[in-house]
Amino acid sequence: MFKEERAEAMFNWDMIGSIAEGRPNLGTTMDVSVYRLMQFTLRDVLIQELGVDAADRIFYKAGELAGRELFKSVITQKADFAAFIQELKDLLLNLKIGILRIEKSDLEKMEFTLTVAEDLDCSGLPVCEETVCTYDEGFISGLLLEFSGRRVVVKEVDCWCSGDRVCRFEVRPAA
């Protein structure tokens, strides 16, 4: 699983395991601080070892893989865009990832503006004038790639960390 070298992603949803079986007393949820502790220490070490650009690239790519696999394994509404977005909104809410809103949507041009409030990755962090939700950028791109078959570039333009109350993402078709 994690001790095999690889050139391509080997992740699949089964790797998440049976949480209910493995954690009969503790259950399927835990504190957000634990998620952030893991993500931010990992990111800190990646930056130390590889630099900011490579760390960002890895986070984006991992987020994209997560979005693709979530779409394949969890999303059931794979044909109608409005139904897909509604299911995604409900899922992100139920999983307590964040509160998704679509501000602008043009499926033909593959141009979207969307916001995530109470984002798992950044809401409540100290303001530092950076947009930090690189994993989320990749995550959104992976979901849209699987839905549409088209590659997009997702850029976070507002973030809790840059002083905003929501994270705002601009989606454009990949060149």
Contacts to Zn ion from residues 32-71, by CB under 5 A: none
Shortest gap between Cβ of 137 and Zn ion (angstroms)? 9
Q: Looking at the DSSP assignment, which residues form a beta bridge with residue 169?
A: 114, 156
Alpha-carbon distance of 172 to 111, in angstroms, equals 5
12 Rama sector, left if φ>0, alpha if ψ -120 to 50, beta otherwise: beta
Q: State the Rg of the chain over Cα.
A: 16
Helices 52-73 and 32-50 cross at an angle (nearest 10°) of 140
Nearest distance, CB of residue 153 and Zn ion, angstroms = 17
Spatial CB neighbours of 38, under 8 Å, sequence gap ≥ 6: none
List 122, 143, 152, 171, residue binding Zn ion (CB under 5 A): 122
Single residue of 97, 133, 144, 166 touching Zn ion by CB under 5 A: 133
Nearest approach in angstroms of CB 38 to Zn ion is 17
Stretch that binds Zn ion, among 55-63, 74-82, 86-94, 120-128 (CB under 5 A): 120-128
Name which of residues 143 to 172 contact Zn ion (CB under 5 A): 159, 167
d(CA 151, CA 141): 7
Q: Is 88 in the site for Zn ion (CB under 5 A)?
A: no
Q: What minimum distance in Å lies between the beta carbon of 6 and Zn ion?
A: 30
HSE value, Cβ hemisphere, 13 Å, CA-based, for 118: 10
- Write a three-state SS string for 143-163: HHHHHHCCCEEEEEEECHHHC
Nearer to Zn ion, 133 or 154 (CB): 133
Q: Which is nearer to Zn ion, 133 or 171 (CB)?
A: 133
CB of 51 to Zn ion, least distance (A): 21
CB of 148 vs Zn ion, minimal distance in Å: 24
Segment contacting Zn ion (CB under 5 A): 9-17, 51-59, 61-69, 130-138? Answer: 130-138
Q: How far is CA 160 from the centre of its chain?
A: 16
Q: Which residues bind Zn ion (CB under 5 A)?
A: 122, 133, 159, 167
